[in-house]
Amino acid sequence: MQESGGVPDVFDPRIYATGIPHDRFRALRDRAPVARQEEPEILGWPAGSGFWAVTRHADVVRVLKDSATYSSCLGATQIRDPDPADLPFIRRMMLNQDPPDHGRLRRLVSRAFTPGRIERFAVTARERARQLLAGAIDAGGEPDLVRAVTDDYALLNLTDLLGVPPSDRGLLHTWTERVIAYQDPDEPPVLDAEGRPVNPRSPAMLAEMFDYAQELAVHKRAHPADDVMTVLATSELADAEMEMFFFLLTVAGNDTVRSAAPGGLLALAEHQDEQRRLWTGEVDTGTAVDELLRVHPPVLSFRRTAAHDTELSGQRIRRGDKVVVFHASANHDERVFPDPHRLDLGRTPNPHVSFGDGPHVCLGAHFARLQLRVLHEEVRGACGGLELAGPPRRLVSNFINGVKSLPVRLREPFAPHA
């Protein structure tokens, strides 16, 4: 276990390429629940000032709920500090705002995420899952479910909800890859004109996406439809706010399901007894989805910045310090979850923080749960079970808990669809 000053390192993105570092997180929860972490130069990115890693469930919830003490705005929400010149731009996004500004934007956009609109997409999502799974089965062999099913499932569901024309959907995939996978050495680096790594969330890197958002908004005003972009384009949002919402929904809306779907399927393949409970109907699919989200949260960490001097779990924190909550650690805290490393698809209650907590709790959590429930129901209907055909490949990231490849064997018999 690599340590700095006797404290396990949970910053290095390369650690997560082999899975969640549960041994390190448990050591921190037991010995140093609010622990100082170094932020050295890694993968071409310059060293940072360091941060406090928060690993216990109660402390994570406290930080997420207390926006007056732990600000999303002061330094934004990524561990690495943004370029100071980019901060005013980054703060336009709801994710990087504090109340009351955050509340105003959330209320405006929540109009687009009505339960009725979300539920209407269930039929489309189910048909898409069936088609993608049928294609994977018809191709034979040992399909990679990420490439054959889950990537397209997440992206196409999102573009339906947004109202993006089919001809433009590849753009959203490209933009998402650029923003999410920038730490992974397998992905093309995002470089400036002089060949130096550059923040993919900087104004220059997002200009193409924002131009597209404005063009799409003009189209939606002229041709309104039952989709989220029509609601955004005809709302009280300023142009810059609308652009930032398009970015947020494109990246967060896609990658939440894109990460959670293969992560859940991987957990089922690794736990055959629990998989059988789901296949036989012994456990409710909705309850199972929340347990799969607990063991494989799509987001690993989020940053806050201390707005004033404070104390957390006995640790003194200074104004301006970076405070980073680790969802995966909180979800496996023995103080909250009995036998936390056991997959229990019937677990209840299940107060996981995979969608966050407090004012920034995920706006699209209902849509994500719906997609995951539908996908698991359709996987169960398409095959007699699944098992790993090779090791999965994971994203190199301390932010997104991504699975890049998931080769499986789909067991006979294939059940006919109802």
Per-residue pLDDT tens for 369-410? 999 999 999 999 999 999 999 999 999 999 999 999 999 999
Domains in the chain: how many in total? 1
> Residue 217: which CATH number?
1.10.630.10
Compute CA distances 414 → 138, 409, 410, 411, whole Å. Answer: 11, 12, 9, 7
Residue 398 lies in a domain: yes
pLDDT top residue among 318 and 117: 318
Residue 334 lies in a domain: yes
Residue 418 lies in a domain: no
- Residue 204 has a pLDDT of 65
Model-level pTM? 0.92
Residue 417 lies in a domain: no
How many CB atoms lie under 10 A from the CB of residue 191? Answer: 11
DSSP string, 241-281: HHHHHHHHHHHHHHHHHHHHHHHHHHHHHH-HHHHHHHHTT
Q: Which amino acid is at 381?
A: G
Q: In whole angstroms, give the CA distance from residue 46 to residue 162.
A: 36
- Residue 124 has a pLDDT of 93
Q: Which amino acid is at 317?
A: I
Asked whether the beta carbons of 366 and 274 are under 8 A apart, the reply is no
Compute CA distances 284 → 94, 256, 274, 360, whole Å. Answer: 34, 22, 12, 28
Residue 415 lies in a domain: no
Residue 13 lies in a domain: yes
- Residue 208 has a pLDDT of 85
* Domain range for 164: 3-410
Tracing tokens 């490393």 back to the chain, one arrives at 341
Per-residue pLDDT tens for 175-225? 877 766 555 566 655 655 666 665 666 666 678 888 999 999 999 999 999
Asked whether the beta carbons of 53 and 34 are under 8 A apart, the reply is yes
Residue 206 lies in a domain: yes
Residue 132 lies in a domain: yes
In the 8-state DSSP scheme, what is residue 378? Answer: H
Asked whether the beta carbons of 359 and 257 are under 8 A apart, the reply is no
Q: Indicate the average pLDDT of the chain.
A: 90
Maximum distance among all Cα pairs of the chain, rounded to whole angstroms? 61
Per-residue pLDDT tens for 110-166? 888 888 888 888 999 999 999 999 999 998 889 999 999 999 999 999 999 999 998
